[in-house]
Amino acid sequence: MIHALVDLITKNNCQIEDDVLLIEHRINNLADFLDFLRQLNSIQGLLESELLEDELKEGDLISLELSIASLSQFGVYTQSLYFFNNHRYSLPENNVFLYDEGCYIDQASFYENYKAFVNLVAVLESMAKYSYLKVDDKYAFIGREDRYILVPLIFSLEDIVALSMSKLGCLNQFLNVMRDSEVQEKKHIFLNELIDFLSQVEEATRLITFVNKIDDFLSKAGAAFSFYLSDFKFNKLKLEIDSKLLEFNQKIQGVINDSQNKLIAIPAAFVLGLTSFDYQNTQSIKNLVILISLFVFTLLLQIFISNQKTALLFIEQNIKFYKDSFGANLASGIKDRFVDVDKEFKKQKERLFITNALLWFAFISSAAFYLCQLFDTVYPSFLIIFYLLFFLGRYMCIFYVYDGRTRHRNS
């Protein structure tokens, strides 16, 4: 029916008088017009004046008086304001024709603005803890745990028409965020910012003020969300680095912990060896075998310590590679956390050095003690001790200094 009424209105001269829409229509096809007239007469209250079918003929120019109130029942509104009063908070489900706009509602100049306002009210109602209708106006209580505010959901057709394209874009951007179920954190931040924003506005104008300053609101809310993201990423990175630091610390400490049982054997072996010497017969084969056994024992422990040192250097390279993977983007607060790992690495390296030095010191002391007993003199023993200490120092220099330079060149 609405299409027939719209066709009648748009193809003829019309004017509004009081509550009646006057339409001047020329009858071109009498049979078709009579069928249409009967449809109009069947609708109670639509025709204000009755036309007698017997008096009508083709070519006549007649005047149809249609009730404006009855036309609205079929979705025909002579003024956009009438339509707005009937559909302020909900989009029409059926076609609507606006006489003053000369088009259907979805082609009206203000339709996108109107739709944005209706969707805004729907979103605010969905966020509200409680909403109610008073007379013809809606109200919503929007809040969080520490604050609730009353937002009158009141706006006019003039507010809709006055909405600029830029603000419409910002308003739709806000609506997209609040209707997106996959960005709960962003919705929560925007809600908090909305409450803070509206709490500073006079209660009666909160909705319109929000729409008029939507660009300012989006700027603040966007900044708050960006800060949240950066803080979240920083905490995530911090958690990852803390996990890595714990892993590196455990590996570094494991170098010594794994070798504790073997290193405890150093003093035990030398004490056992020294107590097993035959001091009555210093030139016996038994003493020589014990000394050679202590030397072999020392070499085996030296190989083990060298392996532990290699493992320690491998861990150091992993730490350096992990730090270099961040480049210059690693925050100083997080970079400082690697200081403790570096200190622990240095301590473990020093412990290996001390262990290595004590190992050879124990063997050299045992050998010197045996030689003193063998030659039964003091001078040769001091000479031997000095000579052995010289080779010990030379070995330690090769073991640590040369290895360190090689590692530096490789890095």
Please, which pLDDT band fits residue 394 given cuts at 50, 70 and 90? Answer: low
Residue 245: per-residue pLDDT: 67
Name the DSSP letter for residue 314: H
- Of all residues in the chain, the percent with pLDDT exceeding 70 is 73
Q: Is the pLDDT of residue 301 over 80?
A: no
pLDDT score at 387: 57
Q: Which residues contact 318 (CB under 8 A, 6 or more apart)?
A: 248
Q: What share of the chain is helix, strand, coil (3-state, %, to 5)?
A: 70, 10, 20
251 vs 292 pLDDT, higher one = 292
pLDDT at 158: 92
Mean pLDDT over 133-153 rounds to 86
pLDDT digits (tens, 9 = 90+) for 230-247: 655 556 656 666 677 677
Question: Quick one: CA dihedral 196, 216, 165, 206, positive or negative?
Answer: positive
Q: Note the pLDDT of residue 153.
A: 92
| pLDDT over threshold 50, residue 406 | no
DSSP per-residue string spanning 233-263: HHHHHHHHHHHHHHHHHHHHHHHHHTTHHHH
Q: Is 142 left (phi over 0), alpha (psi -120 to 50) or beta?
A: beta
Judged against a pLDDT cut of 60, whether residue 402 lies above it is answered with: no
Average of per-residue pLDDT across 32-56: 77
Is the per-residue pLDDT at 161 higher than 80? Answer: yes
Q: Report whether 356 contacts 349 (CB < 8 A).
A: no
Q: How far apart are CA 78 and CA 86, in angstroms?
A: 13
Average the pLDDT over 151-162 and give the result.
91
> What is the per-residue pLDDT across 309-345, written as a single tens digit (0 to 9) for each?
787 777 777 777 776 766 555 555 556 667 777 777 7
Sheet holding 76-77, edge to edge: 76-77, 97-98, 103-104
Mean pLDDT is highest, among 81-95, 295-309, 357-371, for: 81-95
Taking 50 as the threshold, does the pLDDT of residue 409 lie above it? no
- Strands 137-143 and 148-153, by their bridges, are antiparallel
Task: Identify the pLDDT of residue 157.
Answer: 92
- State residue 408's pLDDT score: 47
Q: CB-based contacts of 277: which residues, under 8 Å, 6+ apart?
A: 287, 290, 370, 373
pLDDT of res. 410? 47
Q: How many CB atoms lie within 10 A of CB 1?
A: 13
Amino acid 130: pLDDT: 85
CA dihedral for 11, 12, 16, 22, sign (positive or negative): negative
Q: What 3-state class would DSSP assign to 98?
A: strand
**Cα separation values, 46 from 37, 70, 72, 171, 223, Å:** 11, 5, 10, 40, 57
d(Cα 229, Cα 136) in Å, to the nearest integer?
A: 42
Say which DSSP state 266 is in: H
Q: Stretch 38-54: mean pLDDT, rounded?
A: 76
pLDDT at 336 (0 to 100): 66
User: For residue 109, which of 55, 150, 168, 180 has the smallest C-alpha distance?
Assistant: 168
pLDDT of residue 168: 92
Q: Nearest Cα to 124, choosing from 162, 179, 167?
A: 179
> In the predicted model, what is the mean pLDDT of residues 98-114?
89
pLDDT in tens, 377-387: 544 555 556 55
Distance CA 167, CA 217 (A): 11
Distances (CA, A) of 215 to 15, 227, 290: 42, 18, 89
Please check the confidence at residue 199 and state whether its pLDDT lies above 70.
yes
Q: Is the pTM of this model over 0.85?
A: no
pLDDT band at 24 (very low <50, low <70, confident <90, very high): confident
